[in-house]
Amino acid sequence: MSLFGIDRLLADPELRRPLEGQRVALLAHPASVTKDLTHSIDALFAAGLKVSSVFGPQHGVRGDLQDNMMESPDFTDPTYGIPVFSLYGEVRRPTGQSMSTFDTILIDLQDLGCRIYTYVTTLLYVLEAAAEHGKSVWVLDRPNPAGRPIEGLILRSGWESFVGAAEIPMRHGLTLGELGAWFIDCFKLDVDYRVIEMADWQPEGPGFGWPQERVWINPSPNAANLNMARAYAGTVMLEGTTLSEGRGTTRPLEIFGAPDIDAGKVIAEMHALAPRWLEGCKLREIWFEPTFHKHVGTLCNGVHIHAEGPFYDHTYFKPWRLQALAFKVIRNLNPDYELWRDFPYEYEFDKLAIDVINGSPLLREWVEDPNGTPDDLDAITLPDERAWNEQRRAFLRY
């Protein structure tokens, strides 16, 4: 069985020895569990560590908040009587007050391998705060469930946001431990940093990033399964559109649709326009009625992306291109379709959400160009992907 960072830390007293006598903080969420599904907070206390505070990312330590831009308050843990600080409430960055509660912070977050997943940005903000306050940061590493493949445009300078920490592509192919080391190098941070690596993680083995023997636990409320994690680098773009991403259904961020599209025609046109972008998965026409969020209570015609079972090919699956292709086809079928959602997205008030998500207007401009071809999008994306592949090489640990 592969062991995650938390499992190795608990199993090996020598790994824990540097923490003896220290005040230890933990940055965690509901998926921060050991191999026997004990939450990391409880496991660290049971191991005798002096846990002095806990930090929660977006959706909270308890994962109780569904939507984006829903903030978590600070509170006192009722079991251990220690402060729990929200990094998605009044502040996004740790404050001097919260930083004074510990000597070393352990980061035990399950990531999805996508730039826009805000735990990536929270990692950077904690590293920057630790550098400023002279604190140590340990990442208890976990798998990237989307594996090593790279996809998407690199965020352009000036487009940084809470869903775009730095100039990396949408699907980065790193673990959080690896990404933390890249952040330190990129931003020239002077911080005491350590990664408790996984044992026997095989990103190209069975599961293609997610060990088959490990239980999947939602790291955020709408990250319900491995299929979602694989599709997310594409389906997350739906948050910047009028199309439903399936919030309010049992399969969020695996599906997309709206009351006024013909999903069968969309699928057929996608296959006609760029069949190579649809390899490695199966698209299935569906109907759904969201119980909340976009198109609530309205019957939608849509598409379910199946990157699972016999339809999944890890090498060929391209979720970002697949979703871009869907936008392109919908625009081609109806040039007047109100595709882009105009609302504040992750506290960015002066940019279109789809551009904030992609870290530039380049994808939207391709969709809107009536003469734009799949080759045109590849022409600007492939150089980014190749450049990132070279850049990340020095930071791979597995």
| Residues 341-353 pLDDT 10s | 988 787 677 899 9
Are residues 41 and 179 located together in one domain of the fold? Answer: yes
The pLDDT confidence band at residue 356, using thresholds 50, 70 and 90, is very high
Mean residue pLDDT across the chain: 95
Residue 316 lies in a domain: yes
Are residues 35 and 93 located together in one domain of the fold? Answer: yes
Q: What is the pLDDT of residues 261-270, one digit of tens each?
A: 999 999 999 9
Burial class of 134 by CB neighbour count within 10 A (0 to 12, 13 to 18, 19+): exposed
Q: What is the pLDDT of residues 80-133, one digit of tens each?
A: 999 999 998 888 999 999 999 999 999 999 999 999 999 999 999 999 999 999
CA–CA distance, 339 with 173 (Å, rounded to integer): 29
pLDDT of the residue at 343? 83
What radius of gyration, in Å, describes the C-alpha atoms of the chain?
Answer: 21
Residue 332 lies in a domain: yes
Q: State the first-to-last Cα distance of the chain, in angstroms, to the nearest integer.
A: 16
pLDDT of the residue at 120? 96
**363 has pLDDT over 70:** yes
The pLDDT confidence band at residue 72, using thresholds 50, 70 and 90, is low
The torsion angles phi and psi of 33, rounded to 5 degrees, stand at -130, 160
CA–CA distance, 361 with 358 (Å, rounded to integer): 7
pLDDT of the residue at 71? 52
Q: Distances from the Cα of 98 to the Cαs of 26, 28, 123, 297, 338, in angstroms?
A: 12, 15, 15, 42, 44
Residue 386 lies in a domain: no
The DSSP letter of residue 278 is G
Query: CA angle, corner 385, sides to 122 and 318, nearest 5?
Result: 85
Q: What percent of the chain has pLDDT over 70?
A: 97
Beta bridge partners, 137, equal 105, 193
**187 has pLDDT over 70:** yes
**69 has pLDDT over 50:** no
The DSSP letter of residue 72 is P
Q: Give the chain's domain count.
A: 2
Are residues 119 and 170 located together in one domain of the fold? Answer: yes
Residue 289 lies in a domain: yes
Are residues 75 and 99 located together in one domain of the fold? Answer: yes
Are residues 127 and 251 located together in one domain of the fold? Answer: no
The first and second tokens of residue 253, run together, are 């961020």
CA–CA distance, 158 with 179 (Å, rounded to integer): 20
**67 has pLDDT over 60:** no
pLDDT of the residue at 253? 98
Residue 379 lies in a domain: no
CA–CA distance, 115 with 154 (Å, rounded to integer): 9
Question: What domain range includes position 206?
Answer: 5-217+391-395
Window from 65-79, 275-289, 293-307 with minimum mean pLDDT? 65-79
Are residues 34 and 141 located together in one domain of the fold? Answer: yes
Are residues 203 and 252 located together in one domain of the fold? Answer: no
Are residues 17 and 159 located together in one domain of the fold? Answer: yes
**284 has pLDDT over 80:** yes
Are residues 231 and 154 located together in one domain of the fold? Answer: no
Residue 380 lies in a domain: no
Question: CB of 138 within 8 A of CB of 128?
Answer: no
Are residues 322 and 197 located together in one domain of the fold? Answer: no
Residue with tokens 């493949």: 149
Maximum Cα interatomic distance, the chain, rounded to a whole number of Å? 65
Residue 171 lies in a domain: yes
pLDDT of the residue at 66? 46
CATH number at residue 22: 3.40.50.12170
Q: Distances from the Cα of 308 to the Cαs of 98, 207, 219, 282, in angstroms?
A: 42, 10, 19, 9
The first and second tokens of residue 270, run together, are 């996608």
**283 has pLDDT over 70:** yes
Residue 384 lies in a domain: no
